Amino acid sequence: MQADTQTSPILASVLMISAMAIIGVIDNVVILLAETVGLWQFHLSRALLMLPLIFGLSLLGLGSMRPKRFGPVILRSVLITLAMLFYFASLAVMPIAQALAGLFTSPIFVLLISALAMKQRIGPWRIVAVLLGFAGILCVLQLDPYDFDTRSLLPVAGGLFYALSAVITRSHCSDESTVALLAAMIITLGAAGGIGLLVLELIPVAAPDGPDGFAARGWVWQMQPALLWIAIQAVGSTIAVFMLIKAYQVGEPSYVAVFEYSVMIFGPLFAFAAFGQAIGPMQIAGIGLIAIAGALLGWRAGREAARLEPF
């Protein structure tokens, strides 16, 4: 007789919170490496460092690196690559609290895509969650109609593409190995970095100095000041993703997903301690609203899964 799958909510929550703490710290170093190298060189260099580490995850028995269906996995990888390009570009030009708030619009976009494009029925609680999340986004981004900066939409675009990748993952990649999905994503990000560098080599663009030139900067030979931060990003991302994978393996997904929002505490907190990036009361309230919206969506997803589960 096969034993039931064991769950450990405490272990799952510790793993997820630890993963989000690591991500909250390492994503802050993007502003430091953005002083020296560009977005495209960063992604290419990080991918080259991460792939051997991901291969190590496969050797540890966490899954095969070879996808079962290449088409959906490639599409998912392209969508999540676009999400990460927008997100990391935003980290160089705005406080991490704003970048994270924009990226964490993804659960709201998932719900809207499910309702409008996939014609799925959504109830009043989920509508309330969307409205709360949207209000939170406006509070954190603090959009000024009289002095609108289009760069504030960068992380929101990241959230849209991240949501599209989540829909593809759920509908077409549910039986794929997590390691295969991660490897495909990193290979695609590295390829995007290489393509971006090639385009900038053929069509040079005058990039401003410092972080403002992050997205427009081509290959920089004197990248030694950035190497340490790129290595920290690569190793930290691999460890954090390992913990994230394990959290979903030992915990109920709708329960575990709520703890992902802890990154919106760790990221701004480390940014304040290390760089003096302060956030105001309105942004704190907005972060709270987005977290409540995510928790509400996770709670409803858990209730729905429990209702549909056969006895």
Per-residue pLDDT reduced to its tens digit, 45-75: 999 999 999 999 889 887 888 998 899 999 9
For the stretch 231-248, pLDDT in tens is 999 999 988 888 877 787
308 domain-assigned: no
Q: What is the band of 126 on the pLDDT scale with cuts at 50, 70, 90?
A: confident
**How many domains does the chain divide into?**
1
- Please report, rounded to a whole number, the percentage of residues in the chain having pLDDT higher than 70: 86
193 domain-assigned: yes
Identify the pLDDT of residue 1.
Answer: 38
Identify the pLDDT of residue 307.
Answer: 57
Average pLDDT estimate for 11-38? 90
Q: Of 3, 8, 22, 6, which Cα lies nearest the Cα of 242?
A: 22
Identify the pLDDT of residue 5.
Answer: 44
- Asked which of 65-69, 133-137, 138-142, 307-311 is least confident by mean pLDDT, the reply is 307-311
Phi-psi region of 61 (alpha: psi -120 to 50; beta: other; left: phi over 0): left
309 domain-assigned: no
207 domain-assigned: yes
> Higher pLDDT residue, 229 or 242?
229
Give the Å distances, CA to CA, from 225 to 45, 88, 221. Answer: 14, 19, 11
> Higher pLDDT residue, 262 or 51?
51
- 233-237, 293-297, 302-306, range with greatest mean pLDDT: 233-237
> Higher pLDDT residue, 143 or 237?
237
Average pLDDT estimate for 105-114? 76
Residue 298 has pLDDT above 70, yes or no: no
Q: Are 262 and 302 in contact (CB under 8 A)?
A: no
Identify the pLDDT of residue 40.
Answer: 95
Burial label, 105 (beta-carbon count in 10 A; 0-12, 13-18, 19+): buried
Average pLDDT estimate for 133-156? 74
- Please report, rounded to a whole number, the percentage of residues in the chain having pLDDT higher than 90: 26
4 domain-assigned: no
Range of the domain at 128: 9-303
285 domain-assigned: yes
Identify the pLDDT of residue 253.
Answer: 58
Q: The pTM is what? A: 0.81
Identify the pLDDT of residue 153.
Answer: 84
Residue 256 has pLDDT above 90, yes or no: no
Report d(CA 267, CA 228) in Å as an integer: 19
3-state secondary structure the chain: CCCCCCCCHHHHHHHHHHHHHHHHHHHHHHHHHCCCCCHHHHHHHHHHHHHHHHHHHHHCCCCCCCCCCHHHHHHHHHHHHHHHHHHHHHHCCCCHHHHHHHHCCHHHHHHHHHHHCCCCCCCHHHHHHHHHHHHHHHHHHCCCCCCCCHHHHHHHHHHHHHHHHHHHHHHHCCCCCHHHHHHHHHHHHHHHHHHHHHHHHHCCCCCCCHHHHCCCCCCCCCCHHHHHHHHHHHHHHHHHHHHHHHHHHHCCHHHHHHHHHHHHHHHHHHHHHHHCCCCCHHHHHHHHHHHHHHHHHHHHHHHHHHHHCCC
Identify the pLDDT of residue 113.
Answer: 79
- 11-15, 43-47, 150-154, 280-284, range with greatest mean pLDDT: 43-47
255 domain-assigned: yes
> Higher pLDDT residue, 204 or 79?
79
292 domain-assigned: yes
